[in-house]
């Protein structure tokens, strides 16, 4: 069979490190490993898509121009945004609808573009892709499209996460991973550790203006000396942080998938997560779930983890087994099925 020519948007793998960058890098690697795919990457590394004006320029002019130049059988846009005049056939991955859901705050022009405008533009894609069934249902509802017009391709866990050798730190620390923004609710994690003596909180993730609210919450709770916001860290450093963590705390109120807690399951790190549908879907019965925003309950869960390390064994075993079912190879297979359905 002649290889399918796919143009894949990999722009988000450059610049500011986020979960989106992890997604596109791993999807590209998995697709390149296939003999039935001829892959062209759409990217211009020096265009900073994390600046609003550059993002619009990328979405509306540069990306569609490069896609047409690639002369592919199908183009896959991976960042959740689409051009007014996209090349066809095309596939769009919508990781979440945080802007439409009001889970992300920003300037009025950002809300207009990422929420209002993209709500209409996303429907121009020949097929939409979601990361979870939960996100699929939300996308269908908020974008007013049929559920069967949206495929679920998921996300995966790199092999390196399973190879982490656990060396819990003494004194202990709890790790939070992800962009420091309001919907991730890191302030709840700060107030939670204030209830547990001698436990530190280390945050690894790009910081936004919300970081100042987190620092203020630490001041008010009297734990400024026990809270460390590292900002973005490279994968090697991040894995070492997982290795030493007593637990991963994930108080996020809104997600499209939730990759950090899945990586924690792979590394046999106990997960304390907000009880929201998408995290239930991804983590199954392999995490300790807590009511979102309830710092007292998060603190109690952390205290249990510290006290019951032996009893956690079965939970960690189940978690690692569950994480092994999330592979980038299977993600690539589901995406190729989508590509062929529209090409």
Domain chopping of the chain, boundaries? 4-156+327-342, 159-323
Distance, in Å, from the CA atom of 280 to the CA atom of 290, rounded to the nearest integer, reads 11
The answer to whether 4-156+327-342 and 159-323 have equal CATH topology is: yes
33, 42, 132, 222, 269 from 258: Cα distances, Å: 25, 25, 10, 30, 15
Q: What's the pLDDT at 310? A: 67
Residue 1 has pLDDT above 80, yes or no: no
pLDDT-derived band of residue 44, with 50, 70 and 90 as boundaries?
very high
Q: For the residues 15-22, what does the mean pLDDT come to? A: 83
CA distance 111 to 108: 5
pLDDT per position as a tens digit, 209-263: 999 999 999 999 999 999 999 999 999 999 999 999 999 999 999 999 999 999 9
d(CA 139, CA 144): 8
Q: Work out the average pLDDT over 75-93.
A: 97
Compute the average pLDDT of residues 141-170: 95
Q: Which residues share a beta bridge with 42? A: 9
- pLDDT score recorded for residue 223: 97
* Mean pLDDT to the nearest integer, 19-42: 96
- Residue 199: the pLDDT is 97
| 19 pLDDT above the threshold of 90 | no
Q: How does residue 300 score in pLDDT terms, banded at 50, 70 and 90? A: very high
Would you say domain 159-323 falls under CATH 3.40.50.2000?
A: yes
Question: Which residues is 204 bridged to in the sheet?
Answer: 177
Q: Give the model's confidence band at 104: pLDDT under 50 very low, under 70 low, under 90 confident, else very high.
A: confident
pLDDT at 16: 73
Tokens for 268, please give them.
């046999």
pLDDT average, residue stretch 58-67: 97
Is residue 295 pLDDT above 80, yes or no? Answer: yes
Average pLDDT score over residue span 178-199: 96
Q: Is domain 4-156+327-342 given the CATH code 3.40.50.2000 in the classification?
A: yes
pLDDT at 312 over 90: no
289 vs 103, higher pLDDT: 289
pLDDT at 106: 83
Residue 224, Ramachandran bin (φ over 0: left; ψ between -120 and 50: alpha; else beta)? alpha
């Amino acid at each position: 069979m002649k290889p399918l020519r796919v143009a894949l948007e990999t722009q988000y793998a450059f610049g500011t490190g986020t979960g989106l960058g992890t997604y596109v890098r791993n999807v590209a690697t998995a697709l390149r490993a296939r003999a039935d795919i001829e892959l062209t990457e759409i990217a211009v590394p020096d265009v900073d898509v994390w600046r609003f004006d550059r993002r619009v320029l990328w979405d509306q002019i540069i990306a569609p121009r490069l896609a047409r130049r690639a002369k592919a059988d199908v183009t896959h846009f991976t960042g959740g945004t689409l051009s007014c005049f996209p090349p066809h056939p095309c596939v769009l991955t919508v990781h979440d609808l945080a802007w439409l859901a009001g889970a992300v705050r920003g300037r009025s022009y950002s809300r207009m573009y990422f929420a209002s405008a993209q709500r209409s533009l996303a429907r121009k894609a020949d097929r939409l892709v979601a990361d979870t069934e939960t996100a699929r249902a939300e996308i269908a509802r908020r974008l007013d499209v049929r559920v069967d017009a949206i495929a679920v391709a998921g996300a995966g866990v790199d092999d390196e996460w399973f190879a982490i050798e656990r060396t819990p730190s003494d004194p202990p620390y709890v790790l939070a991973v992800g962009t420091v923004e309001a919907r991730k609710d890191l302030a709840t994690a700060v107030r939670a550790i204030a209830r547990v003596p001698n436990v530190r909180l280390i945050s690894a993730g790009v910081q936004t203006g919300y970081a100042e609210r987190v620092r203020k919450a630490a001041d008010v709770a009297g734990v400024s000396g026990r809270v460390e916001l590292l900002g973005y860290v490279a994968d090697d450093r991040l894995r070492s942080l997982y290795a030493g963590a007593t637990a991963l705390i994930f108080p996020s109120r809104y997600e499209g998938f939730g990759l950090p807690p899945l990586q924690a399951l792979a590394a046999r790190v106990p997960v304390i997560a907000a009880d929201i549908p998408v995290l239930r879907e991804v983590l199954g019965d392999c995490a300790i779930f807590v009511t979102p925003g309830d710092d007292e309950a998060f603190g109690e869960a952390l205290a249990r983890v510290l006290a019951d390390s032996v009893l956690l064994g079965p939970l960690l075993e189940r978690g690692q087994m569950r994480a092994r079912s999330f592979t980038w190879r299977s993600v690539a297979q589901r995406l190729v099925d989508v590509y062929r359905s529209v090409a």
